[in-house]
Structure 1
Amino acid sequence: MRRYGDEVAAIARPLLDEGDLDVLLDRVGDARVVMIGEASHGTHEYYAWRAALTRRLIAERNFSFLAVEGDWPDCRRVDAAVRGAPASPLESLLGYERWPTWMWANEEVLDFTDWLRSHNATRPDRSAFPTSSGSASRDDKYDKVGFHGLDVYSMWESLRQVVLWLRENDPEAAGHAVNAYQCLASYSENPQSYAWATKYLRASCQDEVVRMLIELRGRDLDVWQNAEVVAGAEHYYRALVAGGASSWNVRDRHMDSTLARLLDHYGEGSKAVVWAHNTHIGDANATDQAAQGEVTLGSLARERFGAGQVVLVGMGGHRGSVIAGRTWGAAMTELPVPPGRPGSLEDILHATAPPQALFVFPRLAGRPDLLVDEVPHRAIGVVYRPEQERLGNYVPSVLGDRYDAFLWFDETRALRPLHPLHVDIHEFETYPTGV
Structure 2
Amino acid sequence: MKRSVQFLSSLIFISWSSFLHASEHSCKTIKQLRKENLTSALDASGFRFELDPEKGNQFEKLQVDFSKVKIVGLGEATHGTSEFSIVRHQIFRYLVERHGFRVFILEDEWLGGLHFNEALAKGESIENALSKLNKKGTFLTKETLELFKWIEAFNKNHKIDPIVVYGADAQAGNILLESFHYLRQKLPEQSTEIAKMEGLTKSLFAQLADPALLETVSIDTVKASLKAARKFETDITNSISRQNKQEARLLGLARFPSQILQKISAELVEGLAAAQGPAVLDAIFADQELVSLFDPSCLKGSFSCRDFSMAKNIKLAIDIEGKGAVFWAHNGHVGRFLSHPDIIWANPKTEDTKIVDNTGAFLNEFYGQGYFAVITDFHKGSFLARDASDGHLRAWEVESAIDGVPSSIPNLIHGLGHENFAINLRKKAKYPADKLFKVPQAIRIVGATFSETSNTLEESYMTAILPKYADTYIYFENSTPHSPL
Instruction: In structure 2, list runs of 5 or more residues that go unmatched.
Output: 1-30, 241-246, 274-299
CA distance in 1 between partners of 2:327 and 2:422 (Å): 19
Residue 170 of structure 1 corresponds to which residue in structure 2? 188
Is it true that 1:384 corresponds to 2:450 in the alignment? yes
Is it true that 1:403 corresponds to 2:470 in the alignment? yes
Any conservation in 1 of the 2:116–2:133 contact (CA below 8 Å)?
no
| Larger CA deviation: 183-192 vs 9-18 | 183-192
Amino acid at match of 2:75: G
Amino acid at match of 1:91: N
Relative distance call for 1:97 and 1:75 in structure 2 (3 A) is closer
Residue 201 of structure 2 corresponds to which residue in structure 1? 184
Q: Could you tell me which of 116, 134, 139 is aligned with 1:104?
A: 139
What pairs up with 1:113-262 in 2 under 5 angstroms?
113-125=148-160, 143-166=161-184, 169-171=187-189, 173-186=190-203, 192-193=209-210, 197=214, 200-202=217-219, 203-204=221-222, 205-218=225-238, 219=240, 220-243=247-270, 245-262=300-317
| Larger CA deviation: 376-385 vs 3-12 | 3-12
CA distance in 2 between partners of 1:284 and 1:195 (Å): 37
Q: Could you tell me which of 300, 303, 308 is aligned with 2:365?
A: 303
CA distance in 2 between partners of 1:294 and 1:217 (Å): 30
Counterpart of 2:446 in 1: which secondary structure?
coil
Any conservation in 1 of the 2:340–2:355 contact (CA below 8 Å)?
no
Amino acid at match of 2:233: L
CA distance in 1 between partners of 2:450 and 2:412 (Å): 22
CA distance in 1 between partners of 2:371 and 2:448 (Å): 27
Larger radius of gyration: 2
TM-score, normalising length from structure 2?
A: 0.74
Aligned-pair CA distance for 1:295: 0.8
CA distance in 2 between partners of 1:212 and 1:316 (Å): 42
CA distance in 2 between partners of 1:53 and 1:316 (Å): 16
Any conservation in 2 of the 1:67–1:259 contact (CA below 8 Å)?
yes
Aligned-pair CA distance for 1:34: 1.1
Amino acid at match of 1:411: N
Residue 14 of structure 1 corresponds to which residue in structure 2? 48
- Residue deviations 1:295-320 (CA, integer Å, cap 9, x gap): 1211211211122x121111100111
Any conservation in 2 of the 1:153–1:229 contact (CA below 8 Å)?
no
The answer to which structure has the higher helix fraction is: 2
Any conservation in 2 of the 1:44–1:108 contact (CA below 8 Å)?
yes
CA distance in 2 between partners of 1:416 and 1:401 (Å): 33
| Larger CA deviation: 276-285 vs 159-168 | 159-168
Residue 104 of structure 2 corresponds to which residue in structure 1? 66
Counterpart of 2:477 in 1: which secondary structure?
strand
Amino acid at match of 2:171: Y
Aligned-pair CA distance for 1:287: 8.5
CA distance in 1 between partners of 2:213 and 2:113 (Å): 29
Relative distance call for 1:108 and 1:404 in structure 2 (3 A) is same
- Residue deviations 1:197-255 (CA, integer Å, cap 9, x gap): 48854433222222211111151334321121221111111112322851111111111
Q: Could you tell me which of 423, 429, 432 is aligned with 1:359?
A: 423
CA distance in 2 between partners of 1:160 and 1:194 (Å): 24
Amino acid at match of 1:95: K
Residue 374 of structure 2 corresponds to which residue in structure 1? 313
- Root-mean-square deviation (CA, aligned residues, Å) is 2.8
Q: Could you tell me which of 385, 394, 405 is aligned with 1:333?
A: 394
Aligned-pair CA distance for 1:414: 0.5
- Residue deviations 1:46-66 (CA, integer Å, cap 9, x gap): 011011100111111110211
Residue 32 of structure 1 corresponds to which residue in structure 2? 70
CA distance in 2 between partners of 1:409 and 1:167 (Å): 46
What is the percent sequence identity of the aligned residues?
17
CA distance in 2 between partners of 1:174 and 1:30 (Å): 42
| Larger CA deviation: 270-279 vs 348-357 | 348-357
Relative distance call for 1:191 and 1:410 in structure 2 (3 A) is farther
Amino acid at match of 2:379: H
Relative distance call for 1:177 and 1:65 in structure 2 (3 A) is same
Aligned-pair CA distance for 1:28: 3.0
Aligned-pair CA distance for 1:367: 3.2
Aligned-pair CA distance for 1:95: 3.5
Relative distance call for 1:94 and 1:163 in structure 2 (3 A) is closer
Any conservation in 1 of the 2:378–2:476 contact (CA below 8 Å)?
yes
| Larger CA deviation: 25-34 vs 286-295 | 286-295
Aligned-pair CA distance for 1:188: 5.7
Amino acid at match of 1:382: A
CA distance in 1 between partners of 2:268 and 2:455 (Å): 26
What pairs up with 1:417-428 in 2 under 5 angstroms?
417-418=484-485
Is it true that 1:77 corresponds to 2:115 in the alignment? yes
